[in-house]
Structure 1
Amino acid sequence: MPLAALRRATRETVSGLPREFWWLWTSTLVNRLGAFVATFMALYLTLDRGYSASYAGLVAALHGLGGVVSSIGGGVMTDRLGRRPTLLIAQASTAASVALLGFMHHPVAIAAVAFLVGAASNASRPAVQAMMADIVRPEDRVRAFSLNYWAINLGFAVSSMAAGFIAEVSYLSGFLIEAGMTAVCAVVVFVKLPESRPERTATEKAADEVGLGTVLRDGRFMSVVGLSFLVALVFQQGSVGLPVAMGEAGFSPSDYGLAIAVNGVLIVALQIPVTRFIEHRDPRRLLVLSSLLAGYGFGLTAFAGSVGVFALAVCVWTLGEMLNAPTQTGLVVRLSPAHGRGRYQGMYTLSWSVAALVAPLMSGYVIDHYGAEWLWGLCAVVGTVAAVGYGALMHRLPAEAEAGSEASADGGASTAAKAKAKPEAEAEASPA
Structure 2
Amino acid sequence: MKNLFRFYFESFKGLRKEIWLLSLITLINRAGTMVIPFLSLYLTKSRGFTLEEVGWILTFFGLGSVTGSWLGGKLTDKIGHYKTMSISLIVSSVLFVLLQFPESFWPICIGIYLVMTVADIFRPAVFVAISAYSKPENRTRSVTLIRLAINLGFSAGPAIGGFIIATGGYNWLFWVDGLTCLAAGLLLLKLLHPKRSIPEPEDIISQAKSAFSDKLYLIFIFAMVIFGFVFIQYFSTMPLYYAEAHKLNEFEIGLLLGLNGLFIFLFEMPLIKFMENQRHTAMGYVILGTVLTGISFLAINLTGWTGILIVGMLLVTIGEMISFPFSNSFALHRSDGKKRGSYMALYSIAFSVSHIFGHNSGMQLIDNFGFEFTWYTMFGLSIFACILLFILKKLLSREKV
Q: TM-score range by the shorter chain?
A: 0.7 to 0.9
Match of 1:198 in 2: 199
Match of 2:247 in 1: 252
Distance 1:107 1:387 in 2: 37
Aligned positions of 1:277-292 closer than 5 A: 277-281=274-278, 282=280, 283-292=282-291
Q: Which amino acid aligns with 2:248?
A: P
Q: Is the 8 A contact 1:83 1:197 kept in 2?
A: no
Match of 2:34 in 1: 36
Q: Is the 8 A contact 1:37 1:178 kept in 2?
A: yes
> Judging changes above 3 Å, is the alpha-carbon distance between structure 1 residues 378 and 79 closer, same or farther for their aligned structure 2 residues?
same
- How far residue 209 of structure 1 moved from its aligned partner, in angstroms, is 4.4
Instruction: State whether structure 2 residue 225 is matched by structure 1 residue 224.
Output: no
Q: Is the 8 A contact 2:56 2:360 kept in 1?
A: no
Match of 1:67 in 2: 65
Distance 2:367 2:111 in 1: 31
Aligned positions of 1:160-199 closer than 5 A: 160-167=158-165, 168-169=167-168, 171-195=170-194, 196=197, 198-199=199-200
Of residues 113, 125, 128 in structure 2, which corresponds to 1:127? Answer: 125
- SS of equivalent residue, structure 1 residue 397: helix
> Judging changes above 3 Å, is the alpha-carbon distance between structure 1 residues 371 and 48 closer, same or farther for their aligned structure 2 residues?
closer
- SS of equivalent residue, structure 1 residue 287: helix
Instruction: State whether structure 2 residue 238 is matched by structure 1 residue 237.
Output: no
Q: How many residues align?
A: 394
Match of 1:334 in 2: 333
Of residues 120, 138, 141 in structure 2, which corresponds to 1:140? Answer: 138
Aligned positions of 1:4-403 closer than 5 A: 4-42=2-40, 44-45=42-43, 56-104=54-102, 108-167=106-165, 168-169=167-168, 171-195=170-194, 196=197, 198-201=199-202, 206=206, 208-210=207-209, 214-245=210-241, 250-254=245-249, 260-281=257-278, 282=280, 283-338=282-337, 340-398=339-397
Distance 1:267 1:83 in 2: 26
- How far residue 339 of structure 1 moved from its aligned partner, in angstroms, is 5.0
Q: Is the 8 A contact 1:133 1:333 kept in 2?
A: yes
Q: Which amino acid aligns with 1:331?
A: F
- SS of equivalent residue, structure 1 residue 149: helix
Q: Is the 8 A contact 1:154 1:264 kept in 2?
A: yes
Q: Which runs of 5+ in 2 are unaligned?
A: none
Q: Is the 8 A contact 2:205 2:338 kept in 1?
A: no
Question: Which deviates the most, 24-33 or 337-346?
Answer: 337-346
> Judging changes above 3 Å, is the alpha-carbon distance between structure 1 residues 233 and 170 closer, same or farther for their aligned structure 2 residues?
closer
Q: Is the 8 A contact 1:79 1:197 kept in 2?
A: no
- How far residue 197 of structure 1 moved from its aligned partner, in angstroms, is 7.1
> Judging changes above 3 Å, is the alpha-carbon distance between structure 1 residues 21 and 102 closer, same or farther for their aligned structure 2 residues?
same
> Judging changes above 3 Å, is the alpha-carbon distance between structure 1 residues 111 and 384 closer, same or farther for their aligned structure 2 residues?
closer
- How far residue 178 of structure 1 moved from its aligned partner, in angstroms, is 2.0
> Judging changes above 3 Å, is the alpha-carbon distance between structure 1 residues 102 and 251 closer, same or farther for their aligned structure 2 residues?
closer
Q: Is the 8 A contact 2:40 2:236 kept in 1?
A: no
Q: Is the 8 A contact 1:259 1:308 kept in 2?
A: no
Distance 1:45 1:376 in 2: 22
Q: Is the 8 A contact 2:158 2:258 kept in 1?
A: no
> Judging changes above 3 Å, is the alpha-carbon distance between structure 1 residues 111 and 234 closer, same or farther for their aligned structure 2 residues?
closer
- SS of equivalent residue, structure 2 residue 193: coil
> Judging changes above 3 Å, is the alpha-carbon distance between structure 1 residues 382 and 321 closer, same or farther for their aligned structure 2 residues?
same
Q: Is the 8 A contact 1:245 1:367 kept in 2?
A: no
Distance 1:5 1:94 in 2: 44
Q: Which amino acid aligns with 1:396?
A: L
Question: Which deviates the most, 123-132 or 171-180?
Answer: 171-180
> Judging changes above 3 Å, is the alpha-carbon distance between structure 1 residues 173 and 313 closer, same or farther for their aligned structure 2 residues?
closer
Residue by residue over 1:114-136, the C-alpha shift from the partner in whole angstroms, topping out at 9 and shown as x without a partner, is: 22111111110100011101221
Structure having the higher Rg: 1
Question: Which deviates the most, 302-311 or 59-68?
Answer: 59-68
Question: Which deviates the most, 361-370 or 160-169?
Answer: 361-370
Q: Which amino acid aligns with 2:349?
A: L
TM-score by length of 2: 0.88
- How far residue 29 of structure 1 moved from its aligned partner, in angstroms, is 0.3
Residue by residue over 1:50-69, the C-alpha shift from the partner in whole angstroms, topping out at 9 and shown as x without a partner, is: 66666555443323321111
- How far residue 243 of structure 1 moved from its aligned partner, in angstroms, is 3.9
- SS of equivalent residue, structure 2 residue 300: helix
Q: Is the 8 A contact 2:92 2:119 kept in 1?
A: yes
Match of 1:422 in 2: none
Q: Is the 8 A contact 2:37 2:236 kept in 1?
A: no
- How far residue 323 of structure 1 moved from its aligned partner, in angstroms, is 0.6
TM-score by length of 1: 0.82
- How far residue 376 of structure 1 moved from its aligned partner, in angstroms, is 2.9
Q: Is the 8 A contact 2:65 2:120 kept in 1?
A: yes
Distance 2:299 2:307 in 1: 12
- How far residue 395 of structure 1 moved from its aligned partner, in angstroms, is 3.0
Q: Which amino acid aligns with 2:228?
A: A
Q: Is the 8 A contact 2:72 2:84 kept in 1?
A: yes
Q: Which amino acid aligns with 1:253?
A: L
